[in-house]
Structure 1
C-alpha cells in the first residue's frame, strides 16, 4: 500500500469506529429503557437485563456496519475534498479513481467481518437472547424452534404438527393424542389434514376423531368431520419463536438444515431467502462504497458537508427499504431467493459505478 492508501484507510477506520461506538451506545441505552418494564415485571436482575441487551449487539452490529462505513467514507473523503487535498492530488496527476483502492479494501474487510459475525457469534448470541426472551420474559410461551416436525406436550395432550406456516396462519399434518390424567393410555386421538388459527384456538380440517368407548375397554368410536374446533390453549403468538429459528443458525448450519428438510419434502423458500440474505447483506458495504465515494468527491461536499452526510443517510435509508421490499418478494415466492437477496447490492453498486464514470 502507498502512503496515500494508508492515510485514507486510517481516516476511514477512525471515523468508522467513532460512528460504530456512538450507535452501539445509543442502541444499548434505548433498548434497555424500552424494555425496562418487561425486565422489572419478569424479575430479571440488573446484570441479567444488561446481559440480555448486550447479547443483541452482534446481530445489530451486522445491520449497522454498512451504514457506519458509508458515513465514514463521507467523513474521511469529505475532509480530503474540503481541505483541498483532492486538488493537490489532481495537480500531482492522480485522479480521484485512485481513492477507490483503499475504500474497496476496507469495504471488503468489513464485509468479511460481517460474514464472520453472521456465521459464528451472532447465531450463538441470538439463541441465548431467545432463551431468555421465551424462558424468563415470556415463561408461558411454547418452546418451538422449527416450523417442521413439531412435537408439543400441553396438559394431557401430546401434539404433533408436520408444518406451521406463520404467514398464512395455517397448520399442516396434525396428530393429537389425549391421555388419561392418571396414566399414559390414550383416550382420544385426532387426525387432521390441516387447520388454521382463530382467536379461540384452532379450526381443524378433514378430521378423523377416535374416542375410547368407556363401556368397552380397548374399543374406539370413529367419527369424521369436515371441520372441527379445537382449543388446547395454543394460539398464533405461542409459535412466534419459529420466526427466530434462522437467526439462531449460522450460514453453514442454515445451508445444511435447508437441504435436509428439502429432501424430506418441506417447502424451504423462507430458509432459502434467509440463507441468501445472511450472505448478501454484509456485502452492502461493498455495494454502497461507490456511491459514498461519488458523493464525497462532488464539489457541493466541499462547501457543505452536512448536506452530503444527509444525502448519505437518505441513500442508506433507501437501500434498507429496497432490501426489505426485495426480501419480502422473496419470502412470497415472487422473486427467486438469490435474486431477492442480491438485487439491492447489484442495483446500488451499478448506480455508484455509473456515477463515478462521469466524475472528473
Structure 2
C-alpha cells in the first residue's frame, strides 16, 4: 500500500469515527426522548430497563447510520484533499483521479464487511434480547391485534397476540379436524403458557366446542388444561419476528420454505437480497461523494455546500431504497430489483457525473 493510500485511509477513518459517534449520540438522544416513557412502563418503572434499552438499541442505530457516515466521511476527506491541492499534486505526478478513489477501496471494503457482520449478527441478537425483556419499541412492526396462524398436524392454531418471546399466547383458538378433514372441535383459550421446565403448554380459561354431525354443538368450560402439541415458543416467535432481527441463515430458511413464516416467501426473498446488497451501499457512497467534492471545489463553493448536497443525495438514496424495498415486500417488484435497483441507479448517476467531470 502506497504512502498516499495510507494517508487517505487515516484521514477517512478519523472523519468517519467522528461522524459516526456524533450522529449516533444525537439519534440515541432522540430515540430515548421518543420511547423512554413506553420503555419505563414496560420495565416496571425501573431506570435499569431504560439503560439496558439504550445499550441494546445502539447496534441498530449504528447499522442505520453507517452508510451516511461513509458518504459524509468520503465527502469531507475528498474536500480536504481538494482544498489543500493534494489531489492536484497527485494528478500532476501522472495519477488519474480514479486512482484517488481506488485508495478508498480497502477502507470501504473493511467498513462493508463490518457493517454486514453488525447487521447480520449483532443487531439480531440485540433486538431479540430486547424482545425477550419486552422493552423493544418498533413503530413499524405488526399490530398486536393482528392474528397469526400456524398448522400443527391436522389442527390449525390462531393466535391474536404473542408475548414473552413466544412463551405466552393470548386469545388462542385451536381448530381440530378429523381424518376426513372436517372440523370437529374448537378450543378457545384466553391464554396459553409454556413451562420451560416441563416443556409443555397449559391452556387457561378454555371453552371447548365439539361439533357433531346432525346434532347441536356442545360447549364445555375448563379453568385449565394441558395442550399436547409439537409446537414450541420458537415457532410462534418466528411468526412475528422482524426481518432485521433475523440472521442471514434464518432469512434463508424462510425464503427457501425450510421454515414456516407468517409472511409470503417473496417478503423473505426481498430481505435476503437486501442483506447481500448491504455491503455494496458503502462503495456506492464513494461514487456519490467523489463528483460532488470534485465539482464543488472546482467552483470554490466550499465544504458547507458539499455537506448539504451530500446530505441531500444520501437522504434521496435512503428514501428511494425504502420505497422500492416496500414494493419488494408486497411483491409488486421482484426481490432482486427491490434490493439492487437503488444501488445500481445511484451508482450509474455518480459514475456518469464523474465521467463528465473528468472527461474520460
Shift in Å at residue 336 of structure 1? 0.4
1:348 and 2:346 correspond: yes
Shift in Å at residue 146 of structure 1? 7.4
Does the 8 A contact of 1:12 with 1:72 survive in 2?
yes
Task: Show the 5 A alignment for 1:89-238.
Answer: 89-133=90-134, 148-149=150-151, 152=159, 158-160=172-174, 176-178=186-188, 187-188=208-209, 211-212=217-218
Change (3 A) 1:329 1:297: same
> Which 5+ residue runs of structure 1 have no aligned equivalent?
162-172, 191-208, 215-238
Shift in Å at residue 273 of structure 1? 1.4
Does the 8 A contact of 1:73 with 1:292 survive in 2?
yes
Shift in Å at residue 91 of structure 1? 2.1
Does the 8 A contact of 1:179 with 1:188 survive in 2?
no
Aligned length: 303
> Which 5+ residue runs of structure 2 have no aligned equivalent?
152-156, 160-167, 176-182, 192-202, 221-235
Name the residue aligned to 2:76: 75
**TM-score using structure 1 length:** 0.73
Q: Higher mean Cα deviation, 9-18 or 260-269?
A: 260-269
Change (3 A) 1:265 1:105: same
- Distance in 1 between residues matched to 2:284 and 2:245, nearest whole Å: 26
Name the residue aligned to 1:278: 275
- Distance in 1 between residues matched to 2:33 and 2:189, nearest whole Å: 45
Does the 8 A contact of 1:295 with 1:301 survive in 2?
no
1:174-223 CA-to-partner distances (Å, cap 9, x unmatched) read: x8413799999863158xxxxxxxxxxxxxxxxxx973178xxxxxxxxx
Task: Show the 5 A alignment for 1:15-54.
Answer: 15-42=15-42, 43-54=44-55
1:135-183 CA-to-partner distances (Å, cap 9, x unmatched) read: 999xxx969997654564767x64249xxxxxxxxxxx9x841379999
- Distance in 1 between residues matched to 2:189 and 2:249, nearest whole Å: 40
Shift in Å at residue 250 of structure 1? 0.4
Change (3 A) 1:269 1:35: same
Does the 8 A contact of 1:151 with 1:159 survive in 2?
yes
- Distance in 2 between residues matched to 1:183 and 1:331, nearest whole Å: 36
Shift in Å at residue 133 of structure 1? 3.4
**TM-score using structure 2 length:** 0.73
Change (3 A) 1:121 1:262: closer
1:255 and 2:237 correspond: no
- Distance in 1 between residues matched to 2:190 and 2:298, nearest whole Å: 78
Name the residue aligned to 1:222: none
SS in structure 1 of the partner of residue 257 of structure 2: helix
Name the residue aligned to 1:168: none
Name the residue aligned to 1:221: none
Shift in Å at residue 318 of structure 1? 0.5
- Distance in 1 between residues matched to 2:77 and 2:299, nearest whole Å: 12
- Distance in 2 between residues matched to 1:136 and 1:154, nearest whole Å: 19
- Distance in 2 between residues matched to 1:333 and 1:135, nearest whole Å: 28
Does the 8 A contact of 2:70 with 2:282 survive in 1?
yes
Does the 8 A contact of 2:39 with 2:53 survive in 1?
no
Shift in Å at residue 312 of structure 1? 0.3
Shift in Å at residue 60 of structure 1? 2.0
Name the residue aligned to 1:328: 326
Name the residue aligned to 1:319: 317
Query: Aligned match of 1:289 in 268, 286, 291?
Result: 286
Does the 8 A contact of 2:239 with 2:262 survive in 1?
no
- Distance in 1 between residues matched to 2:204 and 2:3, nearest whole Å: 79
- Distance in 2 between residues matched to 1:85 and 1:136, nearest whole Å: 47
1:20-71 CA-to-partner distances (Å, cap 9, x unmatched) read: 0001111222222222222443424222211112212212222111100100
Change (3 A) 1:160 1:111: farther
- Distance in 1 between residues matched to 2:262 and 2:26, nearest whole Å: 45
Change (3 A) 1:82 1:263: same
RMSD of aligned Cα (Å): 3.8
Shift in Å at residue 15 of structure 1? 0.2
Shift in Å at residue 19 of structure 1? 0.3
